[in-house]
C-alpha cells in the first residue's frame, strides 16, 4: 500500500496472522501424494467447517477411536478455510487436507484430483460441525472448495452424516428448513441433529452441535456393522473384528 509516496505494509488482523501460521506447518501436498486404503480398516473422512464447534475436533477423533473396534478405523480430515480459525492442523495426528492441497496435487492432465481420490478412499463422510454457509452450498450443489467438491462428487451408496452447528436465529431460518429438506429427503443424507444449550455468543436455544459422544456413537455403530465379531468361549478362542 502506498501512502504519500511511501510503501507501507498493510497491517494484518490477528486472525489473518494465525491463518498464515497454520498454513505454514507443512507444504501443500503434490502429485506424488498417495491415499492408501487398508483392507481391514473402515476409512472415515471428517469434514470440519467454519463453526466454533470445530474446537471439538480432537475430542471427536479420540472418542471415535475409543468407541470403534480397535485398530479398525482410519481417519482423514478435510477442512474449509473458515474452520482453520478454530483449530491448528499441526496439533492433529491425522492427515488434514486443505483447499491448497487440491491444487498442489493437480498440475497437469493425469495428476490426481484430490476430491475424487478422497471419494474413492472413504467408506463414510461425517461433517461435524456443518455450519450454515456450507449447508447452503451443499443444498445448492455449490462446489467452490475441497470439502464441497467432495460432497458434490460423493457416492450415495456410502453414508454421509452431518451435524449442524449455528446460531439459533440461523437454525430457525426458513432457508435452513429448505436446505435440510434437500439434504435429508432428496440426497438421503443422515442428520445428527443439534441440541439446545447456551451458545458461544451467550444466546440460549437450538443450534449447538450434538455432543461428540453422540456423534461418535452413531459413526461407531456404522463401523461395527461393517465388522462381525465372533467368540468361541468354550475353547477360549476369540476371532475379533472379522470383516464382513
Q: Which of 68, 143, 169, 201 is catalytic?
A: 201
Q: Residue 201: its pLDDT value, please? A: 66
Write out the DSSP string of the chain: -EETTEE-PPPPPHHHHHHHHHHTSSPPP-TT------TTSEEEEEEE-SSGGGGGHHHHHHHHHHHSPTT-EEEEEEE-TGGGGT--GGG-SS-EE-HHHHHHH-SSTTS--HHHHHHHH-SEEEEEEE-HHHHHHHHTT---SHHHHHHHT--TTS-EEEEE---HHHHTSHHHHHHHHIIIIIS--EE---EEEE-TTS-EEEEEPPPHHHHHHHHHHHHHTTEEEEEEGGGTEEEEEEE-
Three cell numbers written together for 221? 455403530
Which pLDDT does position 129 carry in this prediction? Answer: 98
Q: Is 201 a catalytic residue?
A: yes
In which band, very low, low, confident or very high, does the pLDDT at 197 lie, cut at 50, 70 and 90? confident
Band (pLDDT 50/70/90 cuts) for residue 227 is confident
pTM: predicted TM-score of the whole model, two decimal places: 0.84
Say whether pLDDT at 4 is over 90: no
Domains along the chain with CATH numbers: 38-243 (3.40.50.1950)
The answer, yes or no, to whether residue 218 has pLDDT greater than 50, is yes
pLDDT tens track for 88-136: 999 999 999 999 999 999 999 999 999 999 999 999 999 999 999 999 9
pLDDT digits 0-9 by tens, 124-164: 999 999 999 999 999 999 999 999 999 999 999 999 999 99
Amino acid at each position: 500500500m502506498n501512502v504519500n509516496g511511501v510503501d507501507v505494509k498493510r497491517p494484518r488482523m490477528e486472525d489473518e496472522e494465525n491463518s498464515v501460521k497454520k498454513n505454514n506447518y507443512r507444504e501443500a501436498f503434490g502429485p506424488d501424494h498417495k491415499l492408501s486404503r487398508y483392507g481391514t480398516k473402515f476409512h472415515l473422512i471428517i469434514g470440519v467447517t467454519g463453526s466454533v464447534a470445530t474446537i471439538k475436533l480432537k475430542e471427536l477423533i479420540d472418542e471415535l477411536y475409543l468407541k470403534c473396534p480397535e485398530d479398525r478405523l482410519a481417519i482423514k480430515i478435510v477442512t474449509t478455510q473458515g474452520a482453520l480459525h478454530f483449530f491448528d492442523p499441526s496439533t492433529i495426528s491425522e492427515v488434514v487436507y486443505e483447499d491448497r492441497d487440491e491444487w498442489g496435487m493437480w498440475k497437469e492432465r493425469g495428476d490426481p484430483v484430490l476430491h475424487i481420490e478422497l471419494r474413492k478412499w472413504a467408506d463414510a463422510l461425517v461433517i461435524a460441525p456443518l455450519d450454515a454457509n456450507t449447508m447452503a452450498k451443499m443444498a445448492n450443489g455449490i462446489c467452490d472448495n475441497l470439502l464441497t467438491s467432495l460432497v458434490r462428487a460423493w457416492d450415495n451408496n456410502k453414508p454421509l452424516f452431518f451435524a449442524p452447528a449455528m446460531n439459533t436465529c440461523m437454525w430457525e431460518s426458513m432457508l435452513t428448513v429448505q436446505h435440510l429438506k434437500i439434504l435429508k429427503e432428496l440426497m438421503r443424507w443422515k442428520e445428527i441433529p443439534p441440541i439446545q444449550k447456551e451458545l458461544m455468543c451467550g444466546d440460549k436455544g437450538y443450534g449447538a452441535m450434538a455432543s461428540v459422544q453422540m456423534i461418535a456413537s452413531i459413526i461407531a455403530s456404522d463401523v461395527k456393522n461393517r465388522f462381525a465379531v465372533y467368540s468361541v468361549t468354550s475353547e477360549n478362542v476369540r476371532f475379533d473384528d472379522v470383516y464382513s
